[in-house]
Amino acid sequence: MKLRCIALTTGLLVALSMPATASLSLEDESQRLLMATETAVAEGRWGVAMDYMNRLLRKEQVTLPPDFYFLRGRIMEEAGQPREARQAYGRYVSSAGREGDMYQTALRRITVIEEQERQRGDKSEQFGREPRGGNGEAMAVTLEAAGADEVAQLKALYLTDDPVEALIEHANSLLGLHAWEGPSRVVVRQPDRGLHYRLRLDDTSLQLRTREVDDSGNARVSVTRLNVFGINPRVGTECYREESACWIADPRDGSRWLKLAENRAAATETARVISLLLREIQKNR
């Protein structure tokens, strides 16, 4: 697989924190991490690959190339996360198009995962299913019980002993994977445009960093905080076809909060993980 070069979005470059790579620009360091991820995947060193991938995801001013999502699909599939793997392969297909080096392979992997889920009796929604209704359907409650096995898997996946940290990493990964980058009907979409979110824990508050990039490439960053105590951790979603978007509801009042790409299954999964995160913070902080 020929790796595409990583591009930077408009914004100030941040200083690199790794001493060994302090002389590299953000773009070069990101390209190095992408190459290291590909090498680790090819050699079957999945823990190392996950580490490189997570470090790359934390570089907020980097526009990830389609190849990244194929590698993510491989890693998530190996880590026993079929939904995330299927969504990552789908993101590769939509980003790379039929000219992508791994286009057919990604489609085959989506089919394999679908067949495996069918054999296990998984009744989750098919990948990429179009939302029904045109004016926004009723808010859907998405919280599911988080078993110890699921949290343990995420802790192993993100190389941490802290369940809250693992859930934050996973939520940020899904928010990045399903970012709203403009109407889905636009022939040529620009992955460095749109709305990009990142969560972090700030004492007892959940901090949300929003980076909005307009069509000219100008970025505007805002930071808001959500006090997680005293709120219902159940988070809902709704999708609007005319907006080519799905929304995750604000757990405080049910209003629109996070705008994602138009994919009901992906929005529901992202909301579910955020619900688990809120509940975990309430329980352990």
Reported as a single tens digit per residue, the pLDDT across 209-255 is: 999 988 787 889 999 999 988 888 889 999 998 888 999 999 998 89
| Rg (alpha carbons) of the chain, rounded to whole number | 18
71 burial level (CB within 10 Å; 0-12, 13-18, 19+): buried
pLDDT of residue 8: 52
Share above pLDDT 70 across residues of the chain, in percent, rounded to a whole number: 78
Domain layout of the chain by residue ranges = 1-126, 128-285
Best CATH choice for the domain 1-126 from the list 1.10.10.10, 2.60.40.10, 1.25.40.10, 3.30.750.200? 1.25.40.10
Provide DSSP, 114-169.
HHHHHHTT--PPPTTPPPP-SS-PPPEE------HHHHHHHHHHTT-S-HHHHHHH
Residues 6 or more apart whose CB falls under 8 angstroms from that of 138 comprise 238
pLDDT of residue 126: 38
Structure-token pair, residue 96? 């790379």
Q: Is the pLDDT of residue 108 over 70?
A: yes
- For the chain, strand residue ranges (E) read 7-8, 62-63, 140-141, 194-202, 205-213, 219-227, 236-240, 245-249, 256-261
CB atoms within 10 A of CB 69: 24
Length of the chain: 285
Dihedrals φ, ψ of 82, to 5°?
-65, -35
User: 167 versus 79: which is more confidently predicted?
Assistant: 167
Q: Is the pLDDT of residue 64 over 90?
A: no
Share above pLDDT 90 across residues of the chain, in percent, rounded to a whole number: 38
Residues in a beta bridge with 223: 209
Count H helices and E strands in the chain, helices first.
8, 9
Q: What is the mean pLDDT of the chain?
A: 80
Query: In the predicted model, what is the mean pLDDT of residues 52-60?
Result: 82
pTM assigned to the model: 0.66
Dihedrals φ, ψ of 193, to 5°?
-105, 170
Tell me if 176 sits within 8 A of 196, measured CB to CB: yes
